[in-house]
Amino acid sequence: MARFYAKFDGGSVSALDNVNGAGGYFTQRRIAATSASGALLRDGLIASRSAVSADVYDDLDSVNRNGNNGTYFPPDTPTFPTATLVSWSTAYSSSVDGIKTPTTNTYGVADSLNYSKRVTGSVVSTQPTLVGPTDPRDPVQLNYNVYTSASSAVRTTILSIVTGSSEVGLGRGSVSTPYGRLGQNESRTLYSIWHNPTLDYFAWDDFTPDISGILTQSIGPSAPTGCPLVINLGNPVSIDLEVYVDIGPYKYPNDGNFSAGIDFTVLITTASNGTDIARLQLGGSQDATPYLHGGPLLIGDYTTGNGPLGNRNTAVSSSWSWNLAGPNYNGQLKWTISLTEGVYNLQSFSTVHDQIITSHVSSTTCTNFPSDACSNSSQFTIQAGEPS
């Protein structure tokens, strides 16, 4: 998934940008086109929030003005007795981080408490995460115009988020709000929006990876050229083929999060009729054929194992290794397998799982070699001869 943050002054937050640290993995944006307009938005947001607080605190008992008590007004219990008031018969309380002032962060960003711990959807009055009505019951009334003004100020701020630097397909200052990439769970994305206590920035997640078009494949041990690709593996053929599948660089740093899962399927078939010669499957479950690794690989791991047999040395399994693919560099799957002389096709598939909602995935396919401009772009030939 992509993680984003946007500051009102257009600046950066080093702890969020530190993609090789424990937290990080965020993509930078900015609120408003300039720092001056961002400051005006921030001032308006603080003023409208203060108006809501003053109006609500006027009705609350002092004990319920403490954010550590999780004072909360469920969205299913307000009434609108007049056109100018919204009211609750009582406040509720909760011990859940994100309703009460959190004591830990969702991310391992160590700069300070940042309020990234939050609930994932509307919390209604009947949910067990609420302790129940306050004791004594604490009714509250809120001026409707104050309520809608604060809501409008938040929405205006969110809709003012733009890109902070040039990106592929995005010029500086292009609109880039949470609504522009809602991901596979739209509600969860919007509920993920948070800000730090001093209201310097807003941040959010979209829980959806994007790895389209970042898979490449090659073969060795030498670097063959020609059309189609031809590789000599001994005379007679006695050297194992090396298949390389590289992934990266990622569009969003968090797609390369070390703790996210990644799956691979690499398929070698005969060029003449498409018969499977060997299929290496690591991680998930793209089809009925069992995977060899019993679950997704971790992007941040270095791991090895044995794969299927080739068609030359039928007594020895192939071998594979996965070298981690962090957000700042590519990762590589290497598959070593014994094949006979022949003409083959190579296809590679990869799936990355969202780090938090692991059922959210993004897949990409590679069916060609970068150096091969032939029409049979996935084809290669193994023949007898000394390696170049």
Before 249, cis peptide (omega within 30)?
yes
pLDDT in tens, 336-349: 999 999 999 999 99
In-domain check, residue 93: yes
> Of 179, 205, 231, which residue is a domain's last?
205
**What pLDDT is recorded for position 15?**
81
What gap in Å lies between CA 295 and CA 161, rounded to an integer?
A: 38
C-beta pairs of 85-89 under 8 Å, 24+ apart in sequence: 85/141, 85/142, 85/143, 85/144, 86/141, 86/142, 86/144, 86/147, 87/139, 87/140, 87/141, 87/142, 88/139, 88/140, 89/137, 89/139
Q: Do the domain assignments include residue 299?
A: yes
Please give the Cα distance from 201 to 161 (Å, whole number).
11
Inter-CA distances, 134 with 64, 75, 129, 140, 232, Å: 8, 16, 14, 12, 78
Average pLDDT, the chain: 88
pLDDT digits (tens, 9 = 90+) for 357-388: 988 999 999 998 876 667 678 999 999 998 87
How far is 28 from 11, CA to CA, in rounded Å? 9
Average pLDDT value for residue range 270-277: 92
Confidence of residue 103 (pLDDT cuts 50, 70, 90): confident
Number of domains present in the structure of the chain = 2
> Do residue 187 and residue 306 come from a single domain?
no
Whether this model's pTM surpasses 0.85: yes
SS3 265: strand
Token pair of 381, please? 């030939």
Q: What is the pLDDT of residues 133-162, one digit of tens each?
A: 988 889 999 999 999 999 999 999 999 999
**Amino acid code (one letter) for 187:** S
Identify whether 210 is part of a domain. no
Task: Give the HSE-up count for residue 100: Cα atoms under 13 Å, Cβ half-sphere.
Answer: 16
CA distance 31 to 42: 9
Same-domain status, 7 and 154: yes
Among the residues of 110-204, which ranges form H helices? 144-158, 186-191
Same domain, 219 and 200: no
Domain membership of residue 376 (yes or no) is: yes
Question: Are 17 and 87 within one domain?
Answer: yes
* E strands present in 13-123: 26-31, 79-82, 85-88, 92-94
Q: How many CA atoms lie within 13 A of 382 on its CB side?
A: 29
Residues 292 and 342 in one domain: yes
pLDDT (mean) for 302-329: 86
In a domain, 103, yes or no: yes
- 104, two tokens: 């830990």
Q: State the residue range of the domain holding 195.
A: 3-205
Last residue of a domain, which of 205, 230, 261?
205
Which of 71-85, 259-273, 319-333 is the least confident region? Answer: 319-333
* Residues 285, 301 contacting (CB under 8 angstroms): no
Pairwise CA distance, residues 385 & 232, whole Å = 5
Residue 229 belongs to a domain with what CATH number?
2.60.40
Show which of 205, 230, 249 is a domain's final residue. Answer: 205
In a domain, 388, yes or no: no
Q: Are residues 293 and 314 in the same domain?
A: yes
